[in-house]
């Protein structure tokens, strides 16, 4: 693997191996290579492998990244190239092959250690590093990992005054040594300490926007909103499965007594997805808080889609087809879990119908009408009594919506 010779501010020198996945460079503590230099940006640059070769890329830093004294945005690097970041230099050396089964075994152990470190399982990472050092004393990559683990543990100790350790009985993958809470009323956001600080900040900002938006429309402001942030779909499904209702494969978020979201790379690939997912799940949380969990799912799901302005795919086409064939799903079968419907096509149409009916209710009765209906559910009324707040029965609502449809939503 490549080797980097690092000179920090002109006088501290060290040598590190580059992981096959590359490395990040910057002032922030969670970079692979860190510089304690105020002129270096928090996440300044990244060195990564692409198509069998290594590249250096500037990450919108303040003072730029230079390769052989030339400012670059992204450039391939070769043996002997010098990367300059403010007063710090990194000399890139070409691959140093390691031969023999022992070296291969060390590499596997260090890969395991790195995986534990990524998920905040520091004790397991330390054990793997110690095993690697017993196999090859003085291994530079193992020593580098050892240093990163120590820095992360030290950072956790600094955060103890700001965060609350997670409950030990949550789940083994969400251990008390790495699952912490950011308490900023009304939100309690629990996350792995290994997650990027910028991501957690964006989650908080998005939740605050959703809280204000939904508060204006529904006049509901929960005093406490619990959020758990996971690192993979498997973790989300594992946690929700403990409650007897595992999140489906396609769902990146879920709301039961908490808002639970998956933030792996696939989930966050689209910039707007975090906003759509968090706002959608927060609406579920707010409506259940307002109604004591008594709101029928068609109304709750419809409000969530309208608040995110995220109509289901193919809405107009599906509604036109339903009108042409006079084939709609009765509201009484849309009061509970849509996934109980027999066919995927029916499930898709359930979301379309929920979105369209709530759009109709809003246009005719505005948010004050929606609030009146939700308030009735919160007071313990059933569907007939709640819809009576806008002077409709269930049958009258369906009929009025069908009469409205051709003029507002379809070709």
| Start-end of H helices in 177-296 | 197-218, 233-242, 273-291
Sketch out the chain's domains with CATH numbers.
Answer: 3-93 (2.60.200.20), 101-159 (no CATH), 163-291 (3.40.30.160), 292-411 (no CATH)
> What's the pLDDT at 124?
74
Cα angle vertex 140, ends 136, 146, to 5°? 95
> What's the pLDDT at 247?
64
Check if the beta carbon of residue 79 is closer than 8 Å to that of residue 68. no
CA dist 78 → 49, 55, 68, 95, 405 (Å):
12, 9, 11, 10, 63
The kind and range of the H/E element at 262 are: strand 259-262
> What's the pLDDT at 174?
35
Burial of 153: CB neighbours in 10 Å, binned 0-12, 13-18, 19+: middle
Instruction: Name the token pair of 139.
Output: 């291994």
What backbone phi and psi angles, to 5 degrees, belong to 83? -100, 130
How many other CB atoms are there within 10 angstroms of residue 124's CB atom?
Answer: 17
> What's the pLDDT at 97?
42
* Three-class secondary structure of residue 238 per DSSP: helix
Q: What is the 3-state secondary structure (H, E, C) of 299-356?
A: HHHHHHHHHCCCCCCCHHHHHHHHHHHCCCCCHHHHCCCHHHCCCHHHHHHHHHHHHH
> What's the pLDDT at 249?
64
CA 124 – CA 136 distance, rounded (Å): 19
pTM above 0.85, yes or no: no
Q: What is the pLDDT along the chain (411 residues), one digit of tens a residue?
A: 677 878 775 555 677 877 777 889 999 888 888 888 888 999 999 998 877 778 899 999 999 999 888 889 999 888 778 899 988 888 887 654 444 445 567 888 888 877 776 655 666 777 788 888 877 777 888 888 888 777 766 655 544 444 444 433 333 233 344 667 777 888 888 887 766 677 788 888 889 999 999 999 999 999 999 999 888 878 877 776 655 566 666 677 888 889 998 887 666 656 578 888 899 999 999 999 999 999 999 999 999 999 988 777 778 888 888 888 888 888 888 888 777 776 778 888 888 999 999 999 999 999 999 999 999 999 999 999 999 998 989 899 999 999 998 887 654
> What's the pLDDT at 120?
59
CA dist 209 → 203, 243, 275, 284, 359 (Å):
10, 29, 9, 15, 21
CA 144 – CA 14 distance, rounded (Å): 10
Nearest to 260 by CA among 209, 329, 203: 203
> What's the pLDDT at 121?
66
Long-range contacts, stretch 379-385, CB < 8 angstroms, 24+ apart: 380/292, 380/294, 383/296, 383/331, 383/335
Burial of 135: CB neighbours in 10 Å, binned 0-12, 13-18, 19+: middle
* Three-class secondary structure of residue 124 per DSSP: helix
* Three-class secondary structure of residue 210 per DSSP: helix
> What's the pLDDT at 173?
33
């Amino acid at each position: 693997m490549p080797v980097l010779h690092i000179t920090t501010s002109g006088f501290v020198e060290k040598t590190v191996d580059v992981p096959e996945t590359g490395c990040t460079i910057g002032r922030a503590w969670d970079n692979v290579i860190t510089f304690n230099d105020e002129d270096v940006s928090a996440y300044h640059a990244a060195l990564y492998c692409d198509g069998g070769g290594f590249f250096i890329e500037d990450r919108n830093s303040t003072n730029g990244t230079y390769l052989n004294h030339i400012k670059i945005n992204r450039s391939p690097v070769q043996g002997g190239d010098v990367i300059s970041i403010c007063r710090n230099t990194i000399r890139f050396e070409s691959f140093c092959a390691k031969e023999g089964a022992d070296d291969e075994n060390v590499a596997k152990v260090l890969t395991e250690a790195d995986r534990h470190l990524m998920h905040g399982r520091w004790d397991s990472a330390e054990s793997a590093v110690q095993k690697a050092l017993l196999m090859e004393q003085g291994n530079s990559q193992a020593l580098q990992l050892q240093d990163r683990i120590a820095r992360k543990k030290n950072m956790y100790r600094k955060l103890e005054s700001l965060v609350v350790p997670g409950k030990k009985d949550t789940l083994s993958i969400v251990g008390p040594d790495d699952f912490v809470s950011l308490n900023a009323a009304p939100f309690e956001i629990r996350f792995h300490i290994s997650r990027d600080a910028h991501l957690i900040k964006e989650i908080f900002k998005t939740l605050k926007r959703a809280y204000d938006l939904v508060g204006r429309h529904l006049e509901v402001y929960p005093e406490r909103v619990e959020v758990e942030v996971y690192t993979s779909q498997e973790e989300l499904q594992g946690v929700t499965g403990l409650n007897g209702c595992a999140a489906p494969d396609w769902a990146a978020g879920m709301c039961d007594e908490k808002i639970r979201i998956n933030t792996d790379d696939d989930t966050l690939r689209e910039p707007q997805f975090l906003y759509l997912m968090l706002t959608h799940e927060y609406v579920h949380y707010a409506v259940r808080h307002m109604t004591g969990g008594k709101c029928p799912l068609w109304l709750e799901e419809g409000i969530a889609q309208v608040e995110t302005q995220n109509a289901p795919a193919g809405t107009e086409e599906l509604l036109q087809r339903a009108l042409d064939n006079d084939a709609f799903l009765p509201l009484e079968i849309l009061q509970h879990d849509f996934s109980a419907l027999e066919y995927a096509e029916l499930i898709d149409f359930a979301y379309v119908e929920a979105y369209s009916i709530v759009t109709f209710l809003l246009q005719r009765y505005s948010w004050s009408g929606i609030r009146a209906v939700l308030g009735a559910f919160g007071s313990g009324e059933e569907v007939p009594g709640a819809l009576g707040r806008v002077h409709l029965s269930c049958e009258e609502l369906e009929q009025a919506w069908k009469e409205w449809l051709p003029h507002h939503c379809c070709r």
